[in-house]
């Protein structure tokens, strides 16, 4: 059972979960899947402080998601940033996952949602390694899904929108049922886009390759973080289309996401990646990543917002 905070932020106020955490079954977003959300992590640090990682970038993406589908969001990034910190403080959480959620509320239940109010909510819960502690250390096994990432003709790949996760949930469940840890999703042209909640990187001859934004991927904030850190470590990083063969024949593969952090992939579709164990480039970048999000590496203070 999820251990969530008993206080949440709802349309401008900190309230009790037992009261504001209940929503009507007439909420428009529940019926048609037009809602925007984010996933943000706060880390507690060795020096006793607690900081949120890339808070503003996540809230800017939330605003973009709302804009893409026309959800009016009356709170700006500054207000939402303060609200996120207030949720952590109200629940006395030092290390947590924050979930801002913007919903179209009760009003019309026809498709036209123009007059319905917007609900902006922020909840927080304790979340360990999304793909398991063992996955972060020893790597995960992935299976390519038969379900593809929707193109920008059919969806809004750059938005983090609730209804867009239907095929991702099915793909994830199918992968788990078949004994894998995660699913990889392709685009209409058969290119490898990403995991169901993570971006993907391939290491080939000490170069990092990752699909471009044009490949129906979510512009991951962890993806951007890892590209920056990898370049600082002297690696060449290229954004280019990847085939399944690029992945099968890679030296190393890893996934990035706020929930999944930086998780190595050691097998895809029954084929061992490299020697089937976590590789040296992944290990180096993973160490740098965790030092950065936990504030032990102080080279990017602009990415950290202090809670306590
Ligand atoms: N792709 C998808 C589909 C996702 O849901 C996520 C998680 N937000 C990501 C990639 C990774 O994005 P981020 O690093 O910003 O969490």
Query: Which CATH number do you get for residue 180?
Result: 3.20.10.10
Atom of ligand 1 nearest to the CA of 165: 3
What is the b/e burial string over 187-204, where b = at least 16 CB atoms within 10 angstroms of the residue's CB? beeebbbbbbbbbbbbbb
pLDDT at position 4 is 86
Give the ligand 1 atom nearest the CA of 224. 14
The whole model's pTM is what?
A: 0.97
- 53 vs 286: CA distance, rounded Å: 16
- 10, β-bridge pairs: 13, 121
| Atom from ligand 1 closest to the CA of residue 217 | 1
CA-nearest residue, atom 5 of ligand 1: 197
CA-closest residue to ligand 1 atom 10: 198
Which atom of ligand 1 is found nearest the CA of 164? 3
User: Are residues 192 and 116 part of one domain?
Assistant: no
Q: How many domains does the chain have?
A: 2
* DSSP 3-state of 232: helix
Query: How many Å lie between the centroid of ligand 1 and the Cα of residue 260?
Result: 9
194 lies in which domain range? Answer: 133-293
Considering the domain architecture, whether residues 161 and 199 belong to the same structural domain is answered as: yes
Q: Give the residue ranges of the chain where pLDDT is below 50.
A: none
Residue nearest to atom 12 of ligand 1 (CA): 220
Catalytic residues: 160
Judgement on whether residues 207 and 256 belong to the same structural domain of the protein: yes
**Structural domain ending residue among the three candidates 69, 94, 126:** 126
pLDDT tens digits, one per residue of 62-105: 999 999 999 999 999 999 999 999 999 999 999 999 999 999 99
Mutate to test the pocket of ligand 1, among 258, 263, 292 (most ligand atoms within 8 A of CB): 258
Same domain, 157 and 227: yes
Buried-state track 240-266, b at ≥16 Cβ within 10 A, e below 16: ebbebebbbebbbbbbbbbbbbbbbbb
Which residues have a Cβ under 8 Å from the Cβ of 163 and sit 6 or more positions away? 32, 33, 34, 35
Residue from 199, 255, 293 to probe ligand 1 pocket by mutation (most atoms less than 8 Å from CB): 199
Q: Are 46 and 294 in contact, with CB atoms under 8 Å apart?
A: yes
Please check whether residues 203 and 277 belong to one and the same domain: yes
Residue 304 lies in a domain: no
Which residue has the least CA distance to atom 9 on ligand 1?
198
Judgement on whether residues 104 and 194 belong to the same structural domain of the protein:
no
Q: Is residue 306 part of a domain?
A: no
- Report which ligand 1 atom has the smallest distance to the Cα of 259: 16
- The candidate with the shortest Cα–Cα distance to 260, out of 191, 181, 165, is 181
DSSP state of 205: T
Helices marked H in the chain:
17-20, 28-32, 55-69, 77-90, 133-138, 166-177, 221-232, 244-248, 280-293
Give the distance (Å) from ligand 1 centre to CA of residue 115: 30
What is the CA(122)–ligand 1 centre distance, in A? 18
Ligand 1 pocket, residues with Cβ under 6 angstroms: 39, 160, 194, 197-199, 218, 220-223, 256-258
The span from the CA of 213 to the CA of 222, in Å, is 14
For residues 160 and 40, membership in a common domain is answered with: no
* 303 falls within a domain: no
Let me know whether 150 and 281 are in one domain: yes
How far is the centre of ligand 1, averaged over its atoms, from the C-alpha of 132 (Å)?
A: 17
Q: Tell me the CA–centroid distance for residue 107 and ligand 1, in Å.
A: 31
Instruction: Examine the fold and report which residue of 126, 157, 183 is the final residue of a domain before the chain moves on.
Output: 126
Q: How remote is the CA of residue 7 from the centroid of ligand 1, in Å?
A: 25
Buried b (16+ CB within 10 A) or exposed e, 4-36: bbebbbbeeebbeeeebeebeeebbbbeeebbb
Atom 3 of ligand 1: nearest residue by CA position: 197
């Amino acid at each position: 059972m999820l251990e969530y905070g008993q206080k949440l932020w709802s349309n401008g106020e900190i309230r009790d979960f037992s009261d504001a955490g209940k929503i009507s079954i007439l909420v428009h977003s529940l019926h048609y899947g037009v809602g925007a959300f984010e996933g943000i992590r706060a880390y507690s640090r060795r020096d006793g402080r607690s900081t949120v990682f890339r808070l503003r970038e996540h809230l800017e993406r939330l605003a973009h998601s709302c804009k893409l589908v026309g959800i009016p969001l009356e709170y700006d990034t500054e207000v939402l940033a303060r609200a996120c910190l207030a949720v952590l403080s109200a629940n006395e959480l030092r290390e947590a996952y924050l979930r801002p959620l913007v919903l179209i509320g009760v009003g019309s239940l026809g498709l036209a949602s123009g007059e319905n109010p917007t609900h902006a909510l922020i909840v927080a819960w304790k979340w360990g390694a999304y793909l398991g502690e063992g996955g972060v250390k020893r790597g995960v096994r992935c299976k390519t899904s038969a379900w593809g990432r929707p193109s920008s003709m059919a969806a809004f790949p750059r938005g983090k929108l609730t209804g867009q996760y239907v095929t991702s949930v099915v793909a994830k469940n199918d992968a788990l049922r078949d004994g894998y840890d995660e699913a990889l999703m392709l685009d209409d042209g058969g290119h490898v886009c990403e995991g169901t909640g993570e971006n993907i990187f391939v290491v080939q001859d000490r170069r990092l390759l990752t699909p471009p934004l044009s490949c129906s991927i979510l512009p991951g904030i962890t993806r951007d973080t890892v590209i920056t850190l990898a370049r600082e470590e002297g690696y060449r990083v290229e954004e280019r289309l990847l085939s399944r063969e690029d992945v099968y024949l890679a030296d190393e593969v890893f996934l990035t996401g706020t929930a999944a952090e930086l998780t190595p992939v050691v097998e895809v579709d029954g084929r061992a990646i490299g020697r089937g164990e976590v590789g040296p480039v992944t290990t180096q970048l993973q160490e740098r990543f965790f030092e950065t999000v936990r504030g032990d590496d102080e080279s990017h203070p602009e990415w950290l917002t202090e809670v306590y």
